[in-house]
Structure 1
């Protein structure tokens, strides 16, 4: 019954879940697992949160969809909340992170066009990942992502992540054609690589001086994952454009592209759109997610438990011959190994009841719900230590 009917775009574990609650999932045999993946940084407030169950049930009985041909009250409420939290001015809603990044790239093109640049360029980072549409693949790095899809659309300049000297060199060569810079504050798919301290602030100043848009992909880092609403807030800056998805809907598909007023006004009726984007259900759920994070103090919990988890991992894995680095921010943590471990995620689940993600073949990525507590931190540390031993 069966995977034979599905396109082979994933290689899932032979593991299927029937229910979840908080940080736990249960498979079809009733076995319990501690979820340190959270749907890849999606279920930030945990599985089956009663507030979300109520909101989804009530809204499903009222109204699911009308389209953006009409005003949508929940959409306006969500836009107001996100702009207040971020310091940006306008929001556009769609269904995913890749779509949100496509909207950002269209804004970059329009920004260049307004400045009279015939072929605008966007600066992106080595090892970046921004999605799997043709446009966002072109902005991403890594031959495995782009294999078989050349020639990709868009004009991008790639520089080393966190290297201000490389940015200065490319500025001297292409400044007249550059319209924007797009980057992740912490590179997630590449192994939880945070931008060096001060880099985002320096980049903000650089973009302002040269009239470029600073565009941050906060699809994985946003909505509390790093211990702040958005990762850029740790640096005390505000970008020109920011993209969100994942944790915004806690499993209900929704993406968002936020921008400063002068940038957002580059979009006019008919220049962009989304059939399902910003529907009443998704926007009500997202508003409820924001309420839960605020009322339960989950920003503070993510910061506290994330620091605790980092400290405990560094203590327990200190000197381990296979551990090269442990890094992260809040509840977004990467453990870089010296060499690949075969079937690591499968073994973690089967032997220790722990769900982890392994990216780039040898980096354990931990992205548990923001509701994680101190006892569960110890469970993760114990399981990872035993797994690597």
Structure 2
């Protein structure tokens, strides 16, 4: 009986070791046999309750005035040492020197690497991992740091709850080319297949970030790829970064997830994880966003046109009112002039000239009256004057 129990115990230990070994060596993908839905089976942390990415519903975020702008440390001091760019079969990764770091958090974090996530150009698909109010961007950049104040290296920090800090930058497309992203995209053709590496000239990493580093969303989450450790303090910037459509197309179509020696070439596309529920987590914001609503470019255009039309309409109404007021003032003035016994100059006494014409008319009338009186008097005198008597006969 003891031998049978020992045998069963050995069998169980063998299967446990085999399962563990398989989990470490398993080649995961975003779709297929070991796709996202199967990750928790091989990587238990991927089934945790604090997973990333998430959908940021802005009306459900909480403003935290203590959140200060994050401070990139040494991002612009790239020096003369080249960066290493490589294709790990899941994304394009740029290794960062350890003199780069991140301030504005409770601890000092040291930069490790940055990588990209994108889609496949399909209108029905996104490309970013995080979404805001259900809307995804075309791509997303992640800059990964580890807590160098508490842990000696990335391996030790990545399993701890406060071990990592990741910056999330949402990327959208426009007409203008972003020269900063060409520092990466121009060298993708040299790492087309998985496990390929190349040295690239160092560049200003901060030029990849948004201009506004003070407006962001903050929450506790996880790595978005296996092993999905729930050890990340996420900072998702509110401001998007723009690249051209040609740059996005290059990102989506130039890399393969397959190795160079493999006969079947598989394009590296749609390398983004679906969003996960918050599960009672609270997303904090560094800016007041209680009633913030994300607007599309079409909505913004409509609002601008509406405001312009409203201003024009208001100007027309004001002009009409002013003209109407002037009309009634003039009408009232004319009525006063017509109905008043005084002249129009009496209404404006300050502008009234001397009444010279009226005096002259009165003088003429008086002279005429005097002439008529004189004439009448002369005729009367003539009538009253006795005629000469005739001489009598002697």
TM-score (normalizing by structure 1):
0.19
Structure with the greater alpha carbon radius of gyration: 2
Query: Higher RCO, 1 or 2 (CA under 8 Å, sep at least 6)?
Result: 1
TM-score (norm 2): 0.19
